[in-house]
């Protein structure tokens, strides 16, 4: 890549190329975006643009297009998906991107490159419509979604449509900020916190995760895909991701395990974590929903999250109001599960999350996108079945 304009995402240096791209173009891109939207939206869209670029990197053709033009095209799509009419930057005095926003975006981008997540429906650049991603769940590395900011969750069908009554989706009752932490939990999320030990890796071993996705788009045949990830024992060791879609050749992506970014990590106890959320969210009218989404995001996006962090997030979630939990569900393989629902994006997109009741691990997500003026195109459902990580002796090995 020369001067950040000719991008090379190939090989193990792909992540470094994206970081260089961010360093080169983030401030200029923010200056273009902020001429057409408010500053908070510009801050959000700027970083989101680079995450979508990582998602779409296989579609970038450096011999045909300069990186800045490619980024501005992505940003324009994201702005219009938010309901703005954006025809490019106007000539006006604009506030610069703050150093804090720039640094936070860079850190979150690094965390997103490292993370390995479930696939979000309609993630590719060639999709017939482009689904808006919000900061906590945003796009995929062909098979993985990456995340930043406040979560976008997409809600799916019930586990048992006959036995389970219809429910109101995404009802947010808390107004004027998150209330003071109650003396006792207000929902059963903490019951999912367990002492089940994490798999122990020795040098040379890998954690293997397999995610099977079934995607249904109105008027089209159902499609299946499998995403497999190998995660090494130590920082600095290679990672591998293999994505196989029905009827197509597997796509393999190699990377390197890096130190985890400290951005977004919680305080060490539920009380401190709750109060930290309360302070950060201030008087936001949807603070309860934002708190729920911030606590859930790493659980949804990262199958390798440790038991202590998963338990801390679930226990803290137990004190957040208006969390819809439904125990005694059953997955297709007979596993007893707890359904967490209610999180959504607008009126068009939402997700149901099924946690293993015995271990607290996320086992299934059911995404749904409805057709609307904001999200034109066919309706879409997608079910991601997530196997619990298991130890394998080498990269590429399967149980």
pLDDT of residue 125: 32
pLDDT at 183 over 90: yes
From residue 112, alpha-carbon distances to 73, 99, 230, 263, 290 in Å are: 21, 20, 16, 11, 20
Report the pLDDT averaged over residues 108-127.
46
At 68 the three-state DSSP class reads: helix
Of 121, 119, 352, nearest to 218 (Cα)? 121
pLDDT at 184: 94
Dihedral sign, Cα of residue 4, residue 9, residue 12, residue 18:
positive
Q: Which two tokens stand for residue 340?
A: 């967490």
pLDDT beyond 60 at 5: no
Radius of gyration of the chain (CA): 20
- Angle at 279 (CA atoms; ends 109, 116), nearest 5 degrees: 25
Res 137 pLDDT > 60: no
Share of the chain above pLDDT 70, in %: 67
**pLDDT tens-digit readout, 78-90:** 887 776 655 555 5
Burial of 177 (0-12, 13-18, 19+ CB in 10 A): middle
CA angle 202, 204, 208 (to 5 degrees): 85
The answer to whether the CB of 200 falls within 8 A of the CB of 220 is no
pLDDT reading at 168 higher than 80 = no
In the chain the domains, ranked by start, together with CATH numbers, are 11-114 (1.10.1740), 189-392 (no CATH)
Regarding pTM above 0.85, the answer is: no
* H or E element at residue 209: strand 206-217
Which pLDDT score, from 0 to 100, does residue 216 have?
A: 83
Most confident of 8-22, 142-156, 326-340: 326-340
Question: What tokens appear for 124 in the block?
Answer: 């590719």
Indicate whether 11 pLDDT > 80. no
Distance between CA atoms of residues 13 and 391, nearest Å = 27
248-to-177, 224, 226, 380 alpha-carbon distances in Å = 48, 11, 11, 21
pLDDT band per the 50, 70, 90 thresholds, residue 145: very low
Contact call for residues 59 and 10 (beta carbons, < 8 A): no
Cβ atoms 56, 21 nearer than 8 A: no
pLDDT at 9: 53
Looking only at the bridges linking them, the beta strands covering 251-256 and 324-330 are: unpaired
H runs (alpha helix) in 226-329: 270-281, 287-301, 307-317
Q: What is the mean pLDDT of the chain?
A: 73
Given a cut of 70, is residue 281 above it in pLDDT? yes
| pLDDT higher than threshold 50 for residue 153 | no
pLDDT in tens, 374-394: 444 566 788 889 888 899 999
pLDDT, position 191: 92
pLDDT at position 382 is: 84
- What is the C-alpha to C-alpha distance for residues 225 and 326, in angstroms, rounded to an integer? 28
Q: What pLDDT digit, counting tens, does each position of 238-269 carry?
A: 999 899 988 889 999 888 887 654 434 567 89
Inter-residue contact 116 to 303 (CB < 8 Å)? yes
Q: Which of 41, 289, 319 is nearest to 175 (CA)?
A: 289
Checking if the pLDDT of 342 tops 80, the result is: no
Asked whether residue 118 carries a pLDDT value surpassing 80, the answer given is no
Kindly report the length of the chain. 399
Instruction: Please enumerate in sequence order all residues whose Cβ is within 8 A of that of 351, keeping only pairs 6 or more positions apart, or say none.
Output: 153, 154, 155, 156, 300, 341, 343, 344, 365, 366, 367, 368
Give the SS3 label for residue 60. Answer: coil
Q: Select, from the ranges 27-41, 154-168, 306-320, the one with the highest average predicted confidence (pLDDT).
A: 306-320
Best mean pLDDT range from 150-164, 330-344, 385-399: 385-399
Of the pLDDT bands very low, low, confident and very high (cuts 50, 70, 90), residue 172 is very low
- Look at residue 3 in the predicted model and tell me its pLDDT: 41
């Amino acid at each position: 890549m020369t001067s950040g304009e000719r991008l090379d995402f190939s090989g193990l240096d792909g992540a470094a190329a994206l970081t260089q791209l961010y360093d080169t173009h983030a401030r200029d891109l923010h200056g273009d975006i902020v001429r057409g939207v408010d500053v908070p939206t510009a801050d959000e869209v700027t970083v989101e643009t680079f995450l979508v670029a990582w998602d779409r990197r296989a579609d970038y053709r450096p011999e045909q297009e300069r990186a800045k033009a490619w980024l501005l095209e992505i940003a324009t799509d994201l702005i219009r998906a938010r309901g703005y009419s954006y025809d490019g930057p106007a000539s006006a005095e604009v506030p610069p991107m703050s150093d804090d926003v720039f640094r936070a975006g860079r850190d979150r981008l690094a965390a997103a490159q490292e993370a390995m997540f479930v696939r979000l429906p309609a993630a590719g650049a060639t999709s017939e419509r482009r689904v808006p991603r919000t900061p906590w769940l945003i796009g995929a590395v062909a098979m993985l979604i990456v995340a930043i900011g406040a979560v976008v969750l997409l809600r799916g069908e019930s586990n048992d449509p006959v036995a389970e009554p219809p429910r109101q989706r995404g009802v947010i009752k808390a107004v004027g900020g998150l209330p003071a932490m109650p003396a006792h939990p207000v929902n059963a999320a903490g019951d999912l916190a367990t002492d089940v030990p994490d798999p122990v890796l020795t040098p040379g071993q890998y954690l293997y995760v397999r995610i099977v996705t079934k995607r249904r788009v109105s008027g089209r045949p159902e499609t299946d895909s499998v995403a497999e990830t190998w995660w090494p024992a130590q920082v600095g060791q290679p990672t591998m991701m293999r994505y196989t879609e029905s009827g197509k050749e597997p796509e393999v992506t190699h990377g390197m395990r890096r130190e985890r970014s400290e951005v977004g990590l919680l305080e060490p106890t539920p009380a401190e974590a709750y109060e930290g959320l309360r302070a950060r969210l201030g008087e936001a009218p949807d603070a309860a929903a934002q708190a729920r989404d911030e606590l859930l995001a790493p659980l949804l996006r990262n199958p390798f999250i440790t038991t202590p962090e998963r338990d801390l997030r679930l226990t803290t979630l137990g004190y957040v109001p208006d969390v819809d939990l439904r125990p005694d569900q059953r997955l297709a393989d007979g596993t007893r599960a707890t359904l967490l629902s209610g999180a959504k994006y607008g009126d068009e997109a939402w997700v149901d999350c099924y946690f293993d009741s015995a271990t607290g691990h996320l086992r299934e997500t059911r995404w749904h996108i409805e057709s609307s003026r904001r999200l034109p195109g066919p309706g879409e459902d997608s079910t991601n079945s997530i196997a619990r990580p298991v130890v394998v002796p080498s990269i590429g090995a399967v149980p």
